[in-house]
Structure 1
Amino acid sequence: MLFTKKPAAAAVALALSSLWQTAIAQSKPATETPPAQLMTEVVINASKVKDVEPNNANLDAASLAPIRASTSDTAALLKDVPGISLYGAGGVSSLPAIHGLADDRLRIKVDGMDLISACANHMNSPLSYIDPTNVGSIKVFAGITPVSVGGDSIGGTIQVNSAEPEFANPGQGTVLKGQAGTFYRSNGNATGINLAATVASENLSVNYTGSTTEAGNYTAAKNFKPAAQSTGTRSFLAGDAVGSSSYKSENQAIAVALRGANNLLELKLGLQHIPYQGFPNQRMDMTGNESEQINLRYAGQYQWGTLEARVYNENTRHKMNFLEDKLTIGSKGMPMDTKGKTTGALLKADIALSARDTLKVGSEYQRQRLDDWWDPVSATPGMMAPNRFWNINDGRRDRFDVFGEWEARWNTQWQSQLGVRSSSMTMNTGNVQGYNNMGGMMGYGDPSNPASIPGAFNAADRKKTGNNIDVTALARYTPDAGSTFEAGFARKTRSPNLYERFAWSTNNAMVMNMVNWFGDGNGYVGNLDLKPEVANTISATANWHDAAQESWGLSITPYYTHVDNYIDAARCPVAAGTPCSAANRDAKTGFVYLQFVNQSARLYGVDVSGYMPLARSSDFGAFTATGMLNYVNGKNNTTGDNLYNIMPLNAKLAVVQRIGNWTNTIEGQFVDAKTSVSQVRNELKTGGYSLLNLRSSYEWKQVRLDIGVENALNKLYASPLGGAYVGQRPMTYGTSVPGMGRSIYTALNVKF
């Protein structure tokens, strides 16, 4: 059942009416804008963007359609964007990386909501809160990111939005429209359905979207066998199944929008229910994720420019334990619970100072609250009893930003952008406690005793405040209709997240293993003394194309980033009776125990992408070649080690045929071996590989059919960013998570 909690559209509209009347009364349009065009963002091919923005990628509904059919993971919609790679995770929860910087180092906004993962393993990542079938457009800012589109990040910004509200044309009356879809993927027997429906008049629009997707464990190509197979308490899975890779996800949303001559007011309510999601590179699995989202925005056009305002709130209830593949026979596992709440607000104005100059000013507020606790498994004192273990107790992270950005169009050839953002950050947390108050390796010490680990943490000054400054500068030169050149500099800052700073326990290996969003199988502990990361980036882009930007194009983007106080990992300081032993400090293999530390790092690389016509005929249609190449190199300047999870040199080449309503694609994906690995983490090397993918689609006026084959040759490979395989017991070091074997898929979408 897709729809379980439905607010009455009429009641919502009535509740908004008084606010709406005020907004209309204060709006004074400079010109009469046709209602059907009001505040509708036009998303076009990246090579055609003419704004004073850095080189970015824009994906609209048409370009996203063929990708949706093959994935239920919204992050995977970014897989063809230059500079993007994906950390492996659960089936709907991959973590995107831009130029080697991932996860919290990116600003990821879903329908304008600046969401934060509420999990020690980052299982409920921001992009997991929107199903691919509900994505209307995506904009990616890589490298030089304007201060007006995000702070508290050093790697870039990803903006994912559902479709804009639709209204009836003047005199059209009430409009009822929608679409329904379904898909099947052979690998993992993945199935799903989605539904969208809209009822609209000229000024009121009510939209519902719902989706559900489910899959079993996927299989790798033939001959996948984990390292060091042992009998253990649970035998390895039969065949080539990849343990803990099953999932089920349900998402629903209802949106009510009101429109005036030059104003738009929209309220969105969202619900997510994930009853389970396995993670083959994590020691835990998701056994429940419930999320409720409220998102209210206003957009208005005035004589002086445009105004945008937004307030939102997201509540998450998250649970972890072992799914069947990881659960020891006869065990109840290890229940872990998280409660997170993120509240935010944005006020932004674009002011037209002159025909040449535009000023963007605004402020942003974000308030995060987090509780992370683990209930005892029995009433008898022991390793996991009788107390409730508090990993994060009343974690608080509050951020208030103000920013200003000046854009100038000096003439038809030169454009520039200069921006500054100031951010005030406050972090704190409450007292913690272990499962018991006994001393020794199996205990956690008396939390009231300053000499014990929890006691020392509770006695420490945990309140941290700071002010961060971001600066960006960009210049663009367009000498003629066939080329564009731009270059820029960015100074960006990110403060530590709550786990990096406040995860406290080193008493037991099991506890440390529970804090890990990197998928490397290691254990982590936080650091109260962490400083914010400060990244200085220079980047340039050269773009050549035909005058109409339709036949051919070539884009090259080199970049260099230096990061002061980069939050990396070091072996945790040696302490008797803990996993932080001398053996752990010196280990060259196996899983290890680490502490977050500030060090220095640098990253550099290049993105290359292009397209060109190959042939055209009346009998066989038009053939176009597309290509993309990405390279990034990351180094820890303090230790000389390689940075973790850096994607090796990789490329994609494809030939696309379009004839009539048919679109057919043959694609080759090529990835070099990963040999530059993080030694402090004992990161696993992976071999190079190449994959063949086939896609085909046919579109009628109201129907779209997609069919395809991923990994058509059933190649056995390990994803370079897939992490360490701990998807089943025994959790043995030495195997990388294998990629999915051959998968045949089909999807059907019908509009009505």
Structure 2
Amino acid sequence: MRHRPHPLSAAVALACMSGLLAQPAQAQQAAEALQPLEEIQVQAPRLPGLNAPTNRLEARRLSPLSTADTARLLRSVPGVDLSSAGGVSSLPVIHGLADDRLRISIDGMDLISACANHMNPPLSYLDPSNLAEVAVYSAITPVSVGGDGLGSAIIVKSKTPRFATAAEGSLTSGELGTFYRSNGNARGVNASASWANENLSVRYTGATAESSNYTAAKAFKPGYQATNTIKGSHWIAGDEVGSSAYKTTNQALDMALRNANHLFTLKLGLQHIPYQNFPNQHMDMTDNRSTQVNLGYEGRFDWGTLETRVYHEHTRHSMNFGADKLFWYGASATVPGMPMDTEGKNTGAALKASVLLNEQDVLRVGAELQQYRLNDWWNPSGGGMAPDTFVNIHNGQRDRIDFYAEWEGALDARWSALLGARHSQVKTDSGAVHGYNSGYNTDASAFNAKDRARSDNNLDLSALARYSASETLQLEGGYSRKTRSPSLYERYTWSTGGMAMTMNNWVNDGNGYVGNPDLKPEVAHTLSVSADWHDPTRQVWGLRLTPYYTLVDNYIDAVRCGPANPACVKAATNLNSGRFVYLSLANQDARLYGLDLSGFFPVASGAGWGSLTGRGYLGYTHGSNRDTGDHLYNVMPLNARLALEHQLGSWTSTLESVLVRGKHDVSAVRNEMETSGYGLLNLRTRYDWKQAGTQARIELGLENALNQQYANPLGGAYIGQGMTMALNGMGSPYGIPVPGMGRALYAALSVKF
């Protein structure tokens, strides 16, 4: 196994590929932390420290060639589910918590979705072809990994610089890749080129992908129409999932300068998404442009390691009705456009050090700073949208400064422990707003009259302990206190007008929302234990069981607008079921619990036909509102992945079954829809070829091979084929979950030279 040590902690860098944890070896790690930056050959498995992720996966194991959606690569990680959105904007869900409640970092940058509908989440800014590895903290997350989240964390790294040896002088390399998927006629290409000598490395990466609307397994009849829907000059067939097309382009230029034990990096990123349609949103993305500058330094000294980083990201985002949403059902008149624009500016800095106190103890200390600015405005476009521009958020500000300290050490030959604390101060504010016309004056005046500045002082704690009972069994347990301050959209969206509320929806449920400036930070208390059985080498078999229990104080949940709700008085009909509704936000208490069970084991092997390995995962999460007794929104029901993997030389083939129980524990306050249980069969194979400095990989796969009709339990409400005439007063029909993709044959090819 080839591995490059992480500059901050050798314990993190030497996590096992299977994600199964073992006891730390601080003495070995302390020595390895001072190794030079060249790659080293690891001859035997190492034991990770307690701040290692639950699962660490390299890109070569994730098969990133066949998709443009980086989040989809996490489908096989225990504890991770996906809330579907646009074609490149899926949202990871870990143990019932998603989106802003997770800490997601891309090359050390804490990115924020600059959109009222969260169409540009952090993982959408990195193309899968530029991915190096993903680290997922699904159980207890140490404070050194990050704050401003309720527990779980996803740490993503793009490909690292490669340097030439003294004998090579200079080194040039390149990569070309392409993929095609039959369902939706999806296709993509990527290319990269790099040059390096002993001290300087330069690498360019570019990728583009696009897809038409995908189709479900069979025709679905929403009930508000016959079998077809008018779409411009042609018809949308009954199995076509409207508003699921997309096109995206990502480019990156990475430069690195190395001098002895010091490494300077500069990463420049550019993204352009000319369109990405959303089947579970009232709006579509009509343009998204992002530029990123990320400057970093890593140094190694006799006392430990030091890392600093400064970054800036600028996003310019636009929404409107896409082609599938521009026609009334059964009518010939087009709907006027509804332009919505957003500009976000995100500037951050980080300083962290790992200090080797002795052969057994490591102290990690650090500070982080983030300054975020957001403007969200909607230009008038006719009807009641005149004569002024609607200002949804004006000069939104969210500033965060963190300090943390964390100790990790071995107590004796069998016991190790980790303790950490982080303090965060989060300040938010928003400027004065106004609506399209005088009809919005009452809400705007009330909002403008408020003192909108808020300051939160948040405390995070983490404590972990591990007991190595034998070379085949490790036991681990811990507690964490994690805190998240509300987002700008949760605090500062202000209009109680039906249209404006419908345009503010970051959870894909079809409902309308208004913010609450008085929301308090969410505080999650999590207890988790793990039992990890494995063979002594961790290569033959393994089984890991992780139950968890989380109590969330001041959980931000939805509250119905109605005659008794002074925050947003609506008609009594808004309290009915079987329709989209208008909602405000309030702090309540919540409870989540469940378990992850994962493992792998040899089935059979033979010299002439290779080896057969069984892999499996089972996950269960239950979430409830302790104040109301309601179920929490968008929690994945009991599900499992079972696979047989065959390896013969350079061939790897997998037969996989995905089993999901029906979703019946739904959020009543949101009128969340139930979904039926289903089973999917996926087939895939790949061949790796290497000769004379050239590497190639070809992949073939058949997803949903039996063409099973299903709906993703986390897919949200289907509103992708347009608006309707006065259906439920919300402009779109209620009652249809987003259909899943039908049978899809894909092929992918990658060549490195």
Change (3 A) 1:548 1:44: closer
Q: Deviations over 1:537-588 (max 9, x none)?
A: 0001110000000110000000000000000001024389998424244211
The answer as to whether partners of 1:55 and 1:541 remain within 8 angstroms in 2 is no
The aligned amino acid for 1:285 is: D
Q: What residue is the counterpart of 1:348 in the other structure?
A: 352
Determine the C-alpha separation between the residues in 2 that align with 1:578 and 1:84. Answer: 35
Question: By how many angstroms is 1:147 displaced?
Answer: 0.4
Residue range with higher mean Cα deviation, 70-79 or 364-373: 70-79
The answer as to whether partners of 1:429 and 1:502 remain within 8 angstroms in 2 is yes
Determine the C-alpha separation between the residues in 2 that align with 1:297 and 1:194. Answer: 26
The answer as to whether partners of 2:33 and 2:304 remain within 8 angstroms in 1 is no
The aligned amino acid for 2:360 is: R
1:719 to 707, 712, 718: 712
Q: What residue is the counterpart of 2:494 in the other structure?
A: 504
The aligned amino acid for 2:153 is: T
TM-score of the superposed pair, with normalisation by structure 1 = 0.91
Question: By how many angstroms is 1:483 displaced?
Answer: 1.1
Q: What residue is the counterpart of 2:95 in the other structure?
A: 99
Matches within 5 A, 1:108-187: 108-187=104-183
2:616 to 627, 631, 651: 627
The percent of aligned pairs where both chains have the same amino acid is 56
Q: What residue is the counterpart of 1:306 in the other structure?
A: 305
Question: Are residue 223 (structure 1) and residue 212 (structure 2) matched?
Answer: no
Question: By how many angstroms is 1:233 displaced?
Answer: 7.1
Q: What residue is the counterpart of 1:366 in the other structure?
A: 370
2:49 to 13, 36, 51: 51
Determine the C-alpha separation between the residues in 1 that align with 2:129 and 2:248. Answer: 13
Q: What residue is the counterpart of 2:317 in the other structure?
A: 318
Change (3 A) 1:575 1:371: farther
The aligned amino acid for 1:457 is: F
Question: By how many angstroms is 1:236 displaced?
Answer: 6.5
Determine the C-alpha separation between the residues in 1 that align with 2:529 and 2:32. Answer: 37
The answer as to whether partners of 1:44 and 1:60 remain within 8 angstroms in 2 is no
Q: What residue is the counterpart of 2:588 in the other structure?
A: 599
SS in 2 for 1:69: helix
Gap regions ≥5 residues in structure 1: 1-28, 438-442, 446-451
SS in 2 for 1:645: coil
Determine the C-alpha separation between the residues in 2 that align with 1:593 and 1:135. Answer: 40
Determine the C-alpha separation between the residues in 2 that align with 1:596 and 1:346. Answer: 32
Determine the C-alpha separation between the residues in 2 that align with 1:716 and 1:556. Answer: 32
Change (3 A) 1:327 1:31: closer
Q: What residue is the counterpart of 1:419 in the other structure?
A: 420
2:462 to 472, 494, 508: 472
Determine the C-alpha separation between the residues in 2 that align with 1:579 and 1:53. Answer: 45
1:375 to 363, 376, 379: 379
Determine the C-alpha separation between the residues in 2 that align with 1:408 and 1:158. Answer: 24
Change (3 A) 1:264 1:93: same
The aligned amino acid for 1:133 is: S
The answer as to whether partners of 1:395 and 1:498 remain within 8 angstroms in 2 is yes
Q: What residue is the counterpart of 2:696 in the other structure?
A: 703
Matches within 5 A, 1:172-251: 172-229=168-225, 237-251=236-250
Determine the C-alpha separation between the residues in 2 that align with 1:69 and 1:673. Answer: 31
Q: What residue is the counterpart of 1:448 in the other structure?
A: none
SS in 2 for 1:348: strand
The aligned amino acid for 1:462 is: R
The answer as to whether partners of 1:227 and 1:733 remain within 8 angstroms in 2 is no
Matches within 5 A, 1:619-658: 619-658=608-647
Aligned length: 703
The answer as to whether partners of 1:657 and 1:663 remain within 8 angstroms in 2 is yes
Determine the C-alpha separation between the residues in 1 that align with 2:73 and 2:552. Answer: 28
Determine the C-alpha separation between the residues in 2 that align with 1:200 and 1:576. Answer: 64
The aligned amino acid for 2:697 is: R
Q: What residue is the counterpart of 1:36 in the other structure?
A: 38
Q: Deviations over 1:579-613 (max 9, x none)?
A: 84242442111000000110000000000000000
Determine the C-alpha separation between the residues in 2 that align with 1:693 and 1:37. Answer: 36
Determine the C-alpha separation between the residues in 2 that align with 1:637 and 1:132. Answer: 39
Q: Deviations over 1:410-433 (max 9, x none)?
A: 223111000000001110000000
The answer as to whether partners of 1:574 and 1:585 remain within 8 angstroms in 2 is no
2:650 to 649, 652, 661: 661
SS in 2 for 1:719: coil
Gap regions ≥5 residues in structure 2: 1-30, 328-332, 725-731
Question: By how many angstroms is 1:43 displaced?
Answer: 14
SS in 2 for 1:76: helix
Determine the C-alpha separation between the residues in 2 that align with 1:569 and 1:49. Answer: 44
Determine the C-alpha separation between the residues in 2 that align with 1:169 and 1:463. Answer: 55
Determine the C-alpha separation between the residues in 1 that align with 2:495 and 2:710. Answer: 36
Question: Are residue 338 (structure 1) and residue 337 (structure 2) matched?
Answer: no
The aligned amino acid for 1:751 is: K
Q: What residue is the counterpart of 2:268 in the other structure?
A: 269
Q: What residue is the counterpart of 2:394 in the other structure?
A: 393
1:453 to 443, 459, 475: 443
Determine the C-alpha separation between the residues in 2 that align with 1:345 and 1:43. Answer: 37
Question: Are residue 616 (structure 1) and residue 620 (structure 2) matched?
Answer: no
Determine the C-alpha separation between the residues in 2 that align with 1:146 and 1:383. Answer: 51
The answer as to whether partners of 1:43 and 1:137 remain within 8 angstroms in 2 is no
Determine the C-alpha separation between the residues in 1 that align with 2:121 and 2:605. Answer: 44
Question: By how many angstroms is 1:470 displaced?
Answer: 0.4
Question: By how many angstroms is 1:30 displaced?
Answer: 11
Determine the C-alpha separation between the residues in 2 that align with 1:425 and 1:83. Answer: 29
Residue range with higher mean Cα deviation, 310-319 or 55-64: 55-64
Residue range with higher mean Cα deviation, 645-654 or 584-593: 584-593
Determine the C-alpha separation between the residues in 2 that align with 1:400 and 1:531. Answer: 18
Q: Deviations over 1:349-387 (max 9, x none)?
A: 000111111110000001100000000114xxx511110
The answer as to whether partners of 2:394 and 2:433 remain within 8 angstroms in 1 is yes
Question: By how many angstroms is 1:225 displaced?
Answer: 2.4
Question: Are residue 693 (structure 1) and residue 682 (structure 2) matched?
Answer: yes
Question: Are residue 556 (structure 1) and residue 545 (structure 2) matched?
Answer: yes
Q: Deviations over 1:315-355 (max 9, x none)?
A: 00000001100013433410000000000000000001111
The answer as to whether partners of 1:32 and 1:261 remain within 8 angstroms in 2 is no
Determine the C-alpha separation between the residues in 1 that align with 2:512 and 2:142. Answer: 35
Q: What residue is the counterpart of 2:22 in the other structure?
A: none
CA-atom RMSD, angstroms? 2.0
SS in 2 for 1:430: coil
Change (3 A) 1:55 1:370: closer
Determine the C-alpha separation between the residues in 2 that align with 1:371 and 1:470. Answer: 30
Determine the C-alpha separation between the residues in 2 that align with 1:349 and 1:261. Answer: 18
The aligned amino acid for 2:129 is: T
Q: What residue is the counterpart of 1:86 in the other structure?
A: 82
Q: Deviations over 1:467-516 (max 9, x none)?
A: 00000000011122111110000000000000000000002x11101111
The aligned amino acid for 1:533 is: E
